[in-house]
Structure 1
Amino acid sequence: MNPTLRILLVDDEELARLRLRTLVADCREVPATVVGEAANAVQAADFLAAHPCDLLLLDVHMPGLDGMQFAARLRQQARPPAIVFVTAHAEHALQAFELEAVDYLTKPVKRERLQAALQRVAQRLAPRDEATVAGAEPEVLVVSDRGRVVRVPVAEVLYLKAELKYVTLRTAAHSHVLDDSLSDLEARLGDRFLRVHRNALVARAAVRALERRVMAGEGDDEAGEGWAVRIAPVDEWLAVSRRQLAAVREALLAVGR
């Protein structure tokens, strides 16, 4: 049986929270319960400090710290709750995607859209919870390759890199395209993979060096000198963000201990 999703409602409008509570109760296909409510980010942070929570239904425009800023702070936690933004403003959808929100719902929220969002959250959490209980990690990733379904052993995966709407999976011999989000894959794969950049996960066993190199710009990043890791055996280099640099150094040192 799937565990019940524990949901915190964060919205400065009491009527909006009441409607969301009613909608959650109507989404019977996904076991879910509202465990608390907050009118702003401070109240939400206080609640999270004292209560376990799987998902925030989070408004964007609130007094004080807004929903986007609060979500960015939550991402710094080791295991942050999932985020589904619920707002009357559609213009923040791209920023929500960059914060790896599970979904972005515009008011008035339809029950079907909320239910689909809850199902996505449940699917994201289930592999992580099963690995925690069973003490095991998934051994294969299933990909679609030119009309065929291919089971790629996790042990063969060198890195996973987000590019536009897709994720590229690289092995020593092939590249595959996945529809999964990078955050979902990170939760499923566990400690064998290391986040080196907002758009890349690498297998710890495949990292051979960390050096300063001149890297080509990608997305919003400008070309220039920066840190990068060399991936064996393909001898490719992936950029390392400043935020992840300390963790990458620590991982390389740990291999030699």
Structure 2
Amino acid sequence: MTTALRVLLVDDEPLARLRMRSLVDAIQEPRCEVVAEAATASQATTWLRDHACDILLLDVQMPGADGLQFADSLVQRQVDQPGLSMPLIIFVTAHAMHALRAFELDALDYLTKPVRRERLQAALARAAQRLAERSAAQAQQPAEQPTAPDTTDFVTLTDRGRLLRIPITEVLYFKAELKYVTLRTASESHVLDGALSELEQRFGERFLRVHRNALVARWAVRELERHTPTSFSELDSSEAAEVADSWAVRIVHVDEWLAVSRRQVAAVREALAGQKT
């Protein structure tokens, strides 16, 4: 049996907390358990000093410090204590005016009251997926890797009308296709605007350019192998004619292969050698 995700409810209205608790209890998948409730940011802060949770269902408008200020304090807390795990934040409020600010604070989702069970379940499912990817990335990433991504970095994109923030630690690769770039995590693919060169400049040594159309997270490179060019759609006809064979890398979690240009083979070998030391 899988362990239930731990949820902390923070809302100044007792009836609102009661309804959210009943909604959480009614959701069978993913399994979640409300481990505590708080009526103010101060109460939540006190509870978090001695306890941990996976998900924070957080109201925005509360007496004293509001939900946005509380979330900001949690972000600062993680900056001050890098090894401290920060819960995923799902804002729950009657007003949609604070949505942009909420996502600037790396909120996973933003739900408006009255919250429908289906909408809450979708948010909790995303939280479970994000936590699983975070755990998998930490397990796969070498402990002494000097270029490990800073957990405060993220990629912001729009997906079906929603503004999403994907932690860079969860990105396996970026791949340029036509006018767009595909961002790949262990379980999802997203399309974003922009150029691969801009992403390479922003994230620097955390990613390795394996081909003119692909950047791969260094920790996500699992294997380098020789292949024929016809095995990969990334190689166009001119490249196939230029070389008799080519190389590709296998990506962790998704077991996909990406083409490697001849000039990048040495860099990929070096990256793999660095992972083994």
What range describes the TM-score normalised by the shorter chain of this pair?
A: 0.5 to 0.7
- The answer on whether the counterparts of 1:7 and 1:33 sit within 8 Å (CA) in structure 2 is yes
Partners of 2:140 and 2:37 in 1: CA distance: 35
Aligned to 1:63: 63
The residue that corresponds to 1:165 in the other structure is 158
Aligned to 2:111: 105
Shift of 1:128: 2.1
Q: Does 1:137 find its partner at 2:130?
A: no
Query: Which runs of 5 or more residues in structure 1 are unaligned?
Result: 139-154, 186-199, 207-232, 234-257
Normalised to the residue count of structure 1, the TM-score between the two structures is 0.57
Distance 1:113 1:161 in 2: 24
The corresponding residue for 1:94 is 100
Summarize the alignment of residues 241-256 of structure 1 with structure 2, pairs less than 5 Å apart.
none
3-state SS of paired residue (2:98):
helix
Where 2:123 maps in the other structure, the secondary structure is helix
1:5 aligns to 2:5 (yes or no): yes
Partner of 2:243: none
State the one-letter code of the partner of 1:125.
L
* Paired AA for residue 19 in structure 1: R
Where in structure 2 are the equivalents of 1:1-257 lying within 5 Å? Answer: 2-76=2-76, 77=78, 78=82, 79-132=85-138, 135-137=139-141, 162=155, 164-165=157-158, 176-178=181-183, 201-204=203-206
- Rounded to whole Å, the distance in 2 between the matches of 1:17 and 1:202 is 44
Give the C-alpha shift of residue 73 in structure 1.
1.3
Partners of 1:171 and 1:44 in 2: CA distance: 41
Kindly provide the CA deviation profile for residues 155-214 of structure 1, in whole angstroms up to 9, marking residues without a partner as x: 9x9xx9736537896579x9833276xxx99xxxxxxxxxxxxxx5443477xxxxxxxx
| Structure 2 gaps, min length 5 | 160-165, 190-201, 209-262, 264-277
| 8 Å contact kept, 2:89–2:107 | yes
The whole-number CA distance in structure 1 between the counterparts of 2:154 and 2:56 is: 27
Shift in Å, 1:3? 3.1
Counterpart-to-counterpart distance in 2, 1:105 and 1:48 = 23
**CA shift in 2, pair 1:128/1:179, >3 Å:** closer
Q: Secondary structure at the match of 2:56?
A: strand
Shift of 1:129: 2.3
- Residues 10, 57 of structure 1: 8 Å contact kept: yes
Separation in 1 of the partners of 2:55 and 2:46?
Answer: 15
Change over 3 Å in CA distance of 1:128–1:205 after alignment to 2: closer
Larger Rg: 1 or 2? Answer: 2
Question: In 1, are the aligned partners of 2:30 and 2:125 still within 8 Å (CA)?
Answer: yes
Deviation at 1:80, TM superposition (A): 1.1
CA gap 1:179/1:120 in 2 versus in 1, 3 angstroms? same
Change (3 A) 1:136 1:94: same
SS at match of 2:91: strand
Contact 2:89/2:108 (<8 A) preserved: yes
Change in Cα spacing, 1:2 to 1:202, as seen in structure 2 (3 Å) is farther
- Find the residue that maps to 1:165 and give its secondary structure: strand
Cα deviation for residue 95 of structure 1 reads 1.1
CA distance in 1, matches of 2:2, 2:205: 29
* Structure-2-length-normalised TM-score: 0.53
- Count of residue pairs brought into register by the alignment: 171
